[in-house]
Every structure is written in structure tokens, then in C-alpha cells.
């Protein structure tokens, strides 16, 4: 029995990893790479050579490119391994018709804003019932009528 317990504990401990696992998505080292881009000097080829293809392009304007870098790590065992956001960088590049970099904007976690949601609730006015509402309501009552009779009959028995 002690050997089995020892083997189980050994397996559990051998699978535990004390090193934090970092998950990186998108372009790596986006902050350093974007500093090498110069407005009205860098062209599309320079951008693709430095950063690779964009993470996404604007659906409305193909001359607007987005590069995303996101880095997440696991927290300690006491927080049950929840993920903590380390980096969340976005680079927005606008390219002119001639293929040169016209504008660049680098957004990081410091520039992220908390969104405020409205606490107001929309109230539904059921007083103004139209013909269709009344019609479908009566059909629903007729469909549910046999069910109500069966439930009442079962309660008597």
C-alpha cells in the first residue's frame, strides 16, 4: 500500500512544473520593431520584412494594417492557475496610396481604457398588445390546455 501511495505521489510531483508558462501570440517584440519604422520613408516591403504579414487588415480600408502582440502567463497555484496578462500591444499602421508608411500608432496596456457600461434598463411595455400578440397568445393557451388538464388530473390521483 505504501509503495502504491509513493508511486502516485511521485507521478503527481513529476508532472508539476514550477516554472511559469508564458503564452505569446502575434508578433514578438513589437515595441522594439515598431521604433525602426519611419513615417514617409518605410514602405510596404520594409514593413513586411521587419514585422511579417499583418495580424489583420481593415475590412474598410486595405491600407490600414494591425499588428498584435499578446503575452499571458499562469499565476501561482493559490489562484488556481489563472492567467495574467503581461503584454497587450497593438500597432496600427496606415499606408499611403504610394505604398509608404503614412501614420503609425502604438497602443499598449497603459493606453487601454476601462469601458463604462450604462446601468439603465430598458422597460418593455406590454400594455400595447396588437392583434398578432393576442392571436398567438390564444393559440399558445389552446396548445397548453391538455397539458394543464393532465397535470391537474395527476395531482388528484
DSSP letters spanning 75-122: --GGGTT-EEEEEEEEEEEEE-TTSBEEEEEEE-GGG--PPPPP---P
pLDDT at res. 93: 93
Grid cell at residue 86: 503581461
* Overall residue count recorded for the chain in this entry: 157
DSSP state of 84: E
Answer yes or no: is pLDDT of 129 > 70: no
pTM of the full predicted structure? Answer: 0.58
- Which band of pLDDT confidence, cut at 50, 70 and 90, is reported for residue 81? low
pLDDT at res. 12: 58
Compute the average pLDDT of residues 61-71: 88
Answer yes or no: is pLDDT of 147 > 70: no
* Greatest mean pLDDT range, 44-48, 75-79, 117-121: 44-48
What's the whole-number average pLDDT of the chain? 79
Compute the average pLDDT of residues 37-64: 89
63 Cβ neighbours under 8 A, 6+ residues apart: 94, 95, 96, 97, 102
pLDDT at res. 47: 92
DSSP state of 39: T
The continuous run of DSSP H or E covering 130 comes out as none
Compute the average pLDDT of residues 59-84: 80
pLDDT: which is higher, 122 or 42: 42
Compute the average pLDDT of residues 60-86: 80
Compute the average pLDDT of residues 145-152: 70
Pairing between strand 56-57 and 101-107?
unpaired
Amino acid at each position: 500500500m505504501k509503495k502504491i501511495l509513493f508511486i502516485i505521489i511521485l507521478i503527481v510531483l513529476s508532472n508539476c512544473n514550477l516554472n511559469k508558462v508564458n503564452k505569446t501570440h502575434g508578433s514578438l517584440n513589437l515595441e522594439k520593431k515598431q521604433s525602426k519604422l519611419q513615417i514617409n520613408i518605410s514602405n510596404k516591403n520594409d514593413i513586411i520584412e521587419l514585422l511579417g504579414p499583418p495580424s489583420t487588415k481593415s475590412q474598410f480600408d486595405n491600407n490600414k494594417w494591425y499588428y498584435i502582440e499578446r503575452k499571458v502567463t499562469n499565476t501561482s497555484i493559490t489562484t488556481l492557475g489563472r492567467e495574467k496578462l503581461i503584454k497587450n500591444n497593438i500597432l496600427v499602421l496606415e499606408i499611403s496610396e504610394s505604398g509608404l508608411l503614412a501614420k503609425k500608432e502604438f497602443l499598449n496596456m497603459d493606453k487601454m481604457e476601462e469601458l463604462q457600461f450604462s446601468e439603465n434598463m430598458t422597460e418593455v411595455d406590454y400594455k400595447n398588445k396588437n392583434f398578432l400578440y393576442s392571436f398567438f397568445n390564444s393559440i399558445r393557451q389552446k396548445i397548453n390546455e391538455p397539458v394543464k388538464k393532465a397535470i391537474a388530473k395527476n395531482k388528484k390521483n
